[in-house]
Each structure stands twice: as structure tokens, then as C-alpha cells.
């Protein structure tokens, strides 16, 4: 595949278990996501190792701080050679602009914004003084991100169709919560199949346990790639 659309979430506690999975996959078939727990435990050296193996790495640390601090963190991520990095859109226009300016080079990572976490309910937002629904806030923050030159957002598949319609085809949509019909839902509440997510406008699908806990991870990855390649 010239453009892998699956991002495998490396939700492991250490480097050894991470590499046991990674060595069963292939860079031509997927990208990899390194999140907070794994990065905190293993640091930049694991990211460097994955990049050296030829994988595109999505560094999922969701930067949210004052503009100068976020800009420096984004530049540090770029120095690691990652493919994608993300920030919180709730950081506001100045923070988003600082992150964008920090990654202005032609070889800089893609810059993606997180809008409202899929775990947030109306009650959660009201508790912190936000009187809009999660759906309204997702649309508002995605529009803000697009206005500030951010490459795209993380969103649920249920939000993808509306965002694709309002923000156009050039804006990237990265979608977690993907399950095949034969998979268990685990703790995901809003799930869709890979095919449905692509049809609704998602560019990249973040998939963890359906691949990482499969008896044959590479075969599961090949199956998903085969399904979405028909679209």
C-alpha cells in the first residue's frame, strides 16, 4: 500500500511488549501511534527506534499549554522524525497558531487537533462551564483548527460526515473507536467498522486491541486493509 490508512495504537506498558507486536507488522501496511503511557515509560528512544525501522509514527501526546511551550514541544517532536503530532484545540487560536508556525517546514509532521474527547458528556462540559453540546463544540473547534491552518482533527466516525461536508476534502480526519463486526466493543461506546468510517469521510483509522490482541496481528491488519482498499 502506498498510503497506509491504518494507525495501530501501541497501547503497551513497555518497550519489550511493544516490539513483540511491531516485529509482526510491516511499515508498508500501517502506521503506529505512541501515546502518553508508552512515551512516559520509554521516552524518545522508542520513537527513534520505530522511525528507524521505517514506520510513520503518530506521537499522541495532545499538547495543551501556553503557546510558546506548545511550539517548543512541537519542534521537539519534529526533531524525533515523527509523521504526525497533535494538540488540544481548546488551547485556543494563539496556541494553535504557535504550533502551526513551529511546524512550518516542508518536512514537518502533520499537525492534528483534538476537539472534545469522546468520553466527554454534556454534563462533563457543563461542569467546566461549557454550555454547548459535545457535537456543537466539536464543530466549533474543528472550524477553529481549520482556520488556524491545522491539518485536521481527531474525531469519531459519527462526526466525520458532518466535518467532511463543512470543512472539505483537504482537511484530515483521524478516527479512533474502530471495530470489525466480529470484534468486541471493549470500553468503546461509539464504534464503527473500518469500511463505514472511510465511507463517512475518515482519512486515517486508529485501531488498537482488534489488531494488537489478535492471535495473528498481521493477518488481522491485512484483512482490514483488504476491506478498505475496495472503496
Taking only the tens of pLDDT, the chain with its 231 residues reads: 468 999 999 999 999 999 999 999 999 999 999 999 999 999 999 999 999 999 999 999 999 999 999 999 999 999 999 999 999 999 999 999 999 999 999 899 999 999 998 788 899 999 999 999 999 999 999 999 999 999 999 998 889 999 999 999 999 999 998 877 766 544 444 568 899 999 999 999 999 999 999 999 999 999 999 999 987
115, 106, 51, 44: which is closest to 77 by C-alpha? Answer: 44
Query: Which whole-number Å values give the CA distances from 72 to 83, 152, 178, 216, 221, in the listed order?
Result: 17, 20, 32, 40, 35
Residues counted in the chain:
231
Name 73's Cβ contacts closer than 8 Å, sequence gap at least 6.
Answer: 61, 63, 65
The catalytic site residues sit at: 62
Is domain 6-229 in CATH 3.20.20.70, yes or no?
Answer: yes
Structure pTM? 0.94
Query: First-to-last CA distance in the chain?
Result: 14
User: How many whole angstroms separate alpha carbon 223 and alpha carbon 201?
Assistant: 20
Radius of gyration of the chain (CA): 17
Helix 93-102 with 134-147: angle, nearest 10 deg: 40
Structural domain boundaries of the chain? 6-229
Q: Between vectors from CA 101 to CA 98 and to CA 102, what angle results, nearest 5°?
A: 85
Amino acid at each position: 500500500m502506498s498510503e497506509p490508512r491504518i494507525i495501530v495504537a501501541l497501547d503497551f506498558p513497555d518497550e519489550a511488549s511493544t516490539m513483540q507486536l511491531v516485529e509482526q507488522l510491516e511499515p508498508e501496511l500501517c502506521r503506529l501511534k505512541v501515546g502518553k503511557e508508552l512515551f512516559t515509560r520509554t521516552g524518545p528512544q522508542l520513537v527513534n527506534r520505530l522511525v528507524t525501522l521505517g514506520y510513520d509514527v503518530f506521537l499522541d501526546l495532545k499538547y495543551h499549554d501556553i503557546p510558546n511551550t506548545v511550539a517548543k514541544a512541537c519542534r521537539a517532536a519534529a526533531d524525533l522524525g515523527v509523521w504526525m503530532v497533535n494538540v488540544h484545540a481548546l488551547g485556543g487560536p494563539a496556541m494553535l497558531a504557535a504550533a502551526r508556525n513551529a511546524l512550518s517546514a516542508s518536512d514537518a509532521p502533520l499537525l492534528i487537533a483534538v476537539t472534545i474527547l469522546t468520553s466527554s458528556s454534556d454534563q462533563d462540559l457543563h461542569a467546566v462551564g461549557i454550555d454547548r453540546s459535545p457535537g456543537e463544540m466539536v464543530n466549533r473547534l474543528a472550524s477553529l483548527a481549520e482556520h488556524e491552518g491545522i491539518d485536521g482533527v481527531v474525531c469519531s466516525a459519527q462526526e466525520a460526515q458532518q466535518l467532511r461536508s463543512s470543512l472539505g476534502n483537504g482537511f484530515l480526519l483521524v478516527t479512533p473507536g474502530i471495530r470489525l463486526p466480529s470484534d468486541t466493543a471493549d470500553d468503546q461506546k461509539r464504534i464503527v467498522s473500518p469500511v463505514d468510517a472511510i465511507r463517512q469521510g475518515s482519512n486515517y483509522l486508529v485501531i488498537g486491541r482488534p489488531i494488537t490482541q489478535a492471535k495473528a496481528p498481521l493477518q488481522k491488519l491485512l484483512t482490514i486493509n483488504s476491506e478498505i482498499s475496495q472503496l
